[in-house]
Amino acid sequence: MVIAREAPAGRESAVSAASQKEAIMFARRLAVLATALLLSFAAAQTLVVYSSVDEENAMRILGAFTADTGIQVQMTFLSSGPALARIEAEAARPQADVWFGAPSENHIDAKSRGLTQAYVSPHADALIGEFKDAEGYWHAIYTNPLALGVRTDVLTERGLDVPTSWADLTDPGYEGLIQMPSPQASGTARTVVYTLVELMGEDEAFAYMAEVDANVQTYTQSGTAPSGALGLGETVIALQFSPGFLKLVDEGFPVQVVFPSEGVGYEVASMSILEGAQNLDEAKALVDWMTSVRGQEQLSTVKTYFLPIRGDVSAGEGIPSLDEINLVSYDSAYYAANRERLVDRWVEEVLGQ
């Protein structure tokens, strides 16, 4: 028999209070668990990137990646040397997933030190050999070819044609109109020297540079100074990597970008997935997106002024695609070993010092 008894006075309210307390504690535990799950999900969706692309453009590119994929990016800006040193120092406990930017030579070095891992993107077939590692240890992000920036308004006023080749720069009509960086201070200018040596042979290249020297107004210390002078009207023909000129065109300056017909050297910014990456799927997603048509199109959409590494993607209206530019490759190891000798020869034979 079950006998129902009335609870003593006050007992019912005590039970009710205990139940409420338990309910509150349970709700709190659920909230903590939900928060932990959300944080875990967010962490799994957050890609940690060391970027050697300049901070402004890296934010633009990676922001477009997040917008397309939903993958959040935690970015730390480090120039090439410090980035490589930090990655090596952290090799036992990697703190980043991807090294984004820096010339491909740096990624070749990272590969040789065992700091990166192989992943062949399905888009790798769209890239020429110079823009990828055959085993997938690095892929290019963008390229910046050497180019001439020309003030068409001034040349028209003077009745001069727009130069289309390296040979054209020896025209006496261009006397005092050319500005370029100095190989003594600028890696951009050293790329010019290496390009000309590859195209002409060393002796002929130095004879050519000595001839062009008669038309050079100024050798700048900075590799990007010539485009600044071009925009201000302080020079008429400028020589450097192309982004500065493409920006001037986009801003409406009367500037034409010329890639000399004989061929141009170039720099390639690349990316690698780090050995021990904690967010491997997200790292692969960045490589795939960046080498895809969509990712490459973003270089112009977000106004980086970098040239795409795919021949089937346009850099913008009026700019030739990569497969229309004659690119000149060179042995980086050889020129690194001979850099001082070539710069000294430039000082002696071109500047006459």
At 336 the pLDDT is 83
**Whole-number Å distance between alpha carbons of 9 and 204:** 110
Degrees (nearest 5) of the Cα angle 271, 272, 274? 145
Q: Are strands 46-51 and 98-103 parallel, antiparallel or unpaired?
A: parallel
- The mean pLDDT value for 225-254 works out to 95
Please tell me whether residue 204 adopts helix, strand or coil conformation.
Answer: helix
Residue extents of the structural domains in the chain: 45-143+267-319, 145-265+329-349
Please tell me whether residue 148 adopts helix, strand or coil conformation.
Answer: strand
CATH architecture type of domain 45-143+267-319: 3-Layer(aba) Sandwich (3.40)
- The mean pLDDT value for 284-309 works out to 96
Which residues, 6 or more positions from 92, have their beta carbon under 8 angstroms from its beta carbon? none
At 192 the pLDDT is 96
Higher model confidence: residue 134 or residue 39? Answer: 134
Tokens 């939903």 identify what position? 70
At 20 the pLDDT is 61
At 24 the pLDDT is 56
Q: Which two tokens stand for residue 5?
A: 């008894």
CATH, domain range 145-265+329-349: 3.40.190.10
Tokens 């997200």 identify what position? 282
145-265+329-349 and 45-143+267-319 share a CATH fold: yes
Q: Which of 209, 214, 194, 79 is nearest to 146 (CA)?
A: 194
Q: Which two tokens stand for residue 9?
A: 């006075």
Q: Is pLDDT above 50 for 14?
A: no
